[in-house]
Amino acid sequence: MKTFTFFKMIFLLVFTSVILIAQEPNQKSITITVYNQNLGVVKDVREMNITSGISTIELTDVAQYIDPTSVHIGIDGEVLEQNYQYDLVSMEKILKKYIDKDIQLVGENGEFIEGKLLSANGFQIVLQKKEGGLLMLPNAGKYQISVGSLPKGLITRPTLIWMVNSNRSGKQDVEVSYQTSGMNWHAEYVVVLNEDDTKLDLNSWVSIENQSGSSYKNAKLKLVAGDVNLVKNRNQYQPEYDRVYAAKAMPAIDQFKEKSFFEYHIYDLQRKTTLANNETKQISLFETSGVKVEKKYYYGNRNSYYGSSTKKGKVSVIIEFVNSKENNLAKPMPKGKVRVYKSDGDALEFIGEDMIDHTPKEETVKLKIGEAFDIVVNDVQTENKKISSNVYEQAYEVTITNRKEENIVVDVERMMGLNWEILSSSLKYVKKDSQTILFKVPVKADSKTVLKYKVRYVH
């Protein structure tokens, strides 16, 4: 099978008549691969009746936002030329084609006007009446407009047209593949924490958005998770996120077969599905229970190099879990939103949400759930001395007040900047990297702890 070759053997047109094959080709199979970067790849196999030699074949029901430069077609023969026609019918375009031709207007009260169209700018029309004189309508939207026929060059659906040189006559399976924008998918996770915040149950869903301008019936669906490099100046359709979608939820069972693919992960739905245009479809990805989690309290702040500062800080609530087999997971987790719930004894209540990036197995997932109501931080710079022209010494007091009925530990992270040295500290610290240190500050129930440290900077 020979594949796509642009503009080859054009000279054959001198010796061979061109035959237009007007048909709605029988679709034998369709595969849709959706990326989470506003990109879909369509692989469409059609049965077409093709005449031996030079002829023209067309495919009308393609995606509206197709990238025509990405089209690949396979036939028993060769492709000489490809055209993508997308000048779709609209009232404005029809009127433009009817300049200097006769049209008819019917008013709201049944009045009939006929004449030659001289100008059409939006709903503003200038008409030369048959009985003489000009009629200028500032708002033709009040009229029904009738014309003789659909002008040449306008089509109702985007159409791919190929000039081919077929090796034989008869029915062939023609394989067409192309890229289209307007397709996207993302993962969504629902987490339910247990009573003491030590374990969670996890449901994962994928949401597939189809705004490509075409529907795909009984399609084989694949999803690719990963950051595929795309040329940024691609002429891509940008979805309108304020549309209203019809969400179709499927049973919460594992329906995808996952495997590594190049440097990404691919999810293959183990049944066929239909992706309707302007629809968001939700399908269960996986679910698990009994995942061990750790709840942490985190406070981060950057040291102030110049002048004194006082800050009333808030402590973030973090939950962490390891994506491992021992923790009932070990699944590649595509990027997406994680919503967290917990029962108050009567019903599940929403307690926060966060986004995760693509997370491979054996890695730790960290979710910021919210900010602690009963933990207060008073962050004060108590000293700021200039020792010499390029040496400064600063001292800080971080007071953490715990109004909860349980003991806690707060991770206090400080961004130190460059060329620093801790001169003294009331608590031990860990150097995370060249510019960051971490204190673990224990605070008893309904009590407070003061972290004090002094740092020297050389500029």
- Asked whether residue 95 falls in the same domain as residue 83, the answer is no
| pLDDT band per the 50, 70, 90 thresholds, residue 263 | confident
List the beta bridge partners of residue 221: 32
| pLDDT band per the 50, 70, 90 thresholds, residue 254 | low
Question: pLDDT tens, 131-166?
Answer: 888 888 888 878 888 888 888 767 677 788 899 999
pLDDT at 310 over 80: no
In contact, 441 and 433? CB cutoff 8 Å: no
d(CA 180, CA 157) in angstroms, rounded, equals 15
Average pLDDT over residues 101-120: 87
Does residue 141 lie within any of the structural domains? yes
d(CA 359, CA 225) in angstroms, rounded, equals 10
- Asked whether residue 20 falls in the same domain as residue 160, the answer is yes
- Asked whether residue 420 falls in the same domain as residue 381, the answer is yes
List the beta bridge partners of residue 355: 337
* Among candidate residues 443, 421, 441, the one with its CA nearest the CA of residue 431: 421
* Among candidate residues 276, 184, 186, the one with its CA nearest the CA of residue 239: 184
pLDDT at 236 over 70: no
Mean pLDDT of the chain: 86
Does residue 26 lie within any of the structural domains? yes
Does residue 114 lie within any of the structural domains? yes
* Among candidate residues 44, 78, 88, the one with its CA nearest the CA of residue 62: 44
pTM over 0.75: no
Residue 69, both tokens: 């430069």
- Asked whether residue 27 falls in the same domain as residue 170, the answer is yes
Could you tell me the residue range of the domain that residue 123 belongs to?
A: 91-146
d(CA 77, CA 52) in angstroms, rounded, equals 9
Does residue 329 lie within any of the structural domains? no
- Asked whether residue 22 falls in the same domain as residue 105, the answer is no
- Asked whether residue 306 falls in the same domain as residue 430, the answer is yes
- Asked whether residue 160 falls in the same domain as residue 305, the answer is no
Residue 170, both tokens: 């008869």
- Asked whether residue 26 falls in the same domain as residue 101, the answer is no
Helices (H) and strands (E) counted in the chain, each on its own, are 1, 32
Question: pLDDT tens, 22-51?
Answer: 335 688 999 999 998 899 999 999 999 999
- Selected residue with higher pLDDT from 112 and 320: 320
- Asked whether residue 415 falls in the same domain as residue 453, the answer is yes
Please report where in the chains the tokens 């997370």 appear, as a residue: 359
